[in-house]
Amino acid sequence: MGRFGGRPRVFQAPGRINIIGEHTDYNGGLVMPAAIDRRCIVAAAPNRQRAINVVSRNLNAEARIDLDRLAPAGEWADYVAGVAASLINAGVPISGCDVWIDSAVPIGAGVSSSAALEVALARAFTSLAGVDADGLSIARWAQEAENKFVGMPCGIMDQFASANGVENCALVLDCRTLKAEVAPLPPDFSFLLVNSMVRHAHASGEYRRRREECELAAKALNVKDLGEIAESALPSALRGLPAGPAKRCRHVVTEIARVRASAKYLSAGNISALGQAMNASHASLRDDMEVSVEPVDALVAIAQETPGVMGARMMGGGFGGCVIALAQSTDADRILETIVARYAARIGEAPDAFICRAVGGAGEMLL
């Protein structure tokens, strides 16, 4: 780490895809994420100060964070300061360090660049402090940083997947109990990501409103969260809700059912049914959760119409970001080229796109 002159330890945390299960994590439901082979790298070394000196290669920016005066500043460095504050609140003895950040996780694309950063930082800070933390603790501290310091009311899925990913597998995570089952992915199928090139900004608006509407629905139904509503009880539940909260409730309950069914499809090798569930997920996100936008809908339609695609949907919290498509691995390159070409002709630029594979979670990189 020549920028600071120290000998660093290096840590990585992956981004994630979510195969199915959007807006269910903060509703106490099921999700099916997988860590992917796009990672955030954090190099860190102690500096004998009461400050974190941090450089972001991606942003070409640097900041100095006073560990005795941690407060949100509304800037990118809040992610760093927020993780430090979360760990200090948990009793982790954080000390000053020099930090270099370099990430290959696309920003604003719905593959959890912020969670990858938070988890990599949490791994770095706890390791420098001599604390051996498990993946669940890392995920909780990282989520707390984003919720309480950055101001983004996200669920725990992104951080959990980044911290606890399993090679060649998805995780079926119950966000109420925070218990996860491993779901092996079929080796002859691949997930394709295509960026709509519409940048989303969750912390300032619609995502927050969707969460508030879900909370209103849960309160009206006298449950802690919408994950408690059984699919069989949905018709009667909807009759007691205003139009907006009713639509959010319908999405959450049916999406949880789709995740549960998709886990069975994977176990049985029924990839066609998994693809159909992904298609149904997008329709629900578009019509009931109302978090899609026209360019994303167009990209999903292009993907779903492309021969060889088993299923496709928007991914992430909404209002932009990536579309995820499922296709046979032998045809994945050709299919991706077709989708990219058609969407590029529509928007006038080539979208970012790549084929990803599932990898293990965050950890130290031994040099």
CATH of the domain at 85: 3.30.230.10
Residue 270 shares a structural domain with residue 292:
yes
pLDDT band at 199 (very low <50, low <70, confident <90, very high): confident
78 part of a folded domain: yes
Q: Does residue 284 sit in the same domain as residue 324?
A: yes
Reported as a single tens digit per residue, the pLDDT across 20-75 is 999 999 999 999 999 999 999 999 999 999 999 999 999 999 999 999 999 999 99
In a domain, 54, yes or no: yes
Say yes or no to pLDDT of 115 above 70: yes
Q: Is the pLDDT of residue 82 over 50?
A: yes
Question: Mean pLDDT score of the chain, rounded to an integer?
Answer: 94
Same domain, 103 and 50: yes
Q: Is residue 252 part of a domain?
A: yes
Rounded average pLDDT over 279-292: 97
Pairing mode, if any, of strands 97-103 and 51-56? parallel
Helix axes 206-220, 243-268, angle to 10 degrees: 100
Instruction: Decide if 137 is inside a domain.
Output: yes
Q: Are residues 226 and 341 in the same domain?
A: yes
Banded model confidence at residue 4, pLDDT cuts 50, 70, 90? low
23, 255 Cβ separation under 8 angstroms:
yes
Q: Is residue 158 among the annotated active site residues?
A: yes
Per-residue buried b or exposed e for 83-120, using 16+ beta carbons within 10 Å of the residue's own CB? bbbbbeeeebebebbbbbbebebbebbbbbbbbbbbbb
pLDDT value for 203:
43
Q: What is the pLDDT of residue 80?
A: 97
Share of the chain above pLDDT 90, in %: 89
One domain, residues 78 and 148: yes
Total structural domains in the chain? 2
Is the domain of 205 the same as that of 262? yes
Is 367 a member of any domain? no
**Predicted pLDDT at 6:** 62
Within-domain flag for 344: yes
Report pLDDT digits (tens) over 15-24. 999 999 999 9
Residue 323 lies in a domain: yes
Query: Is pLDDT of 79 > 70?
Result: yes
Q: Mean pLDDT lowest for which of 104-118, 160-174, 219-233?
A: 104-118
| Same domain? 162 vs 307 | no
Confidence of residue 205 (pLDDT cuts 50, 70, 90): confident
pTM of the model: 0.91
Q: Inform me whether the pLDDT recorded for 107 exceeds 90.
A: no
- Which of 163, 183, 203 is the C-terminal boundary of a domain? 183
**Catalytically annotated residue among 25, 78, 98, 158:** 158
Residue ending a domain, among 166, 183, 200, is 183
Residue 179 shares a structural domain with residue 244: no
43 touches 7 (CB < 8 A) = no
The answer to whether residue 361 sits within a structural domain is no
Residues 244 and 148 in one domain: no
Q: Both 167 and 197 in a single domain?
A: no
Rounded-to-integer distance, Cα 264 and Cα 98, Å: 46
Beta sheet of 189-195, edge-to-edge order: 309-314, 322-328, 189-195, 353-356
Query: Who has greater pLDDT, 318 or 246?
Result: 246
Q: Is there a single domain that holds both residue 190 and residue 179?
A: no
Same domain for 143 and 234?
no
pLDDT value for 317: 86
Pairing assessment for the beta strands 51-56 and 61-66 based on DSSP bridges: antiparallel
Strand bridging mode 97-103 / 30-46: antiparallel
Calculate mean pLDDT across residues 126-152: 95
CATH code for the domain in which residue 339 is found: 3.30.70.890
Asked if residue 331 has pLDDT above 80, the reply is yes
Domain that holds residue 121: 9-183
Q: Which of 183, 207, 237 is the last residue of a domain?
A: 183
Q: What is the mean pLDDT of residues 177-182?
A: 96
CA atoms within 13 A on the CB side of 241: 24
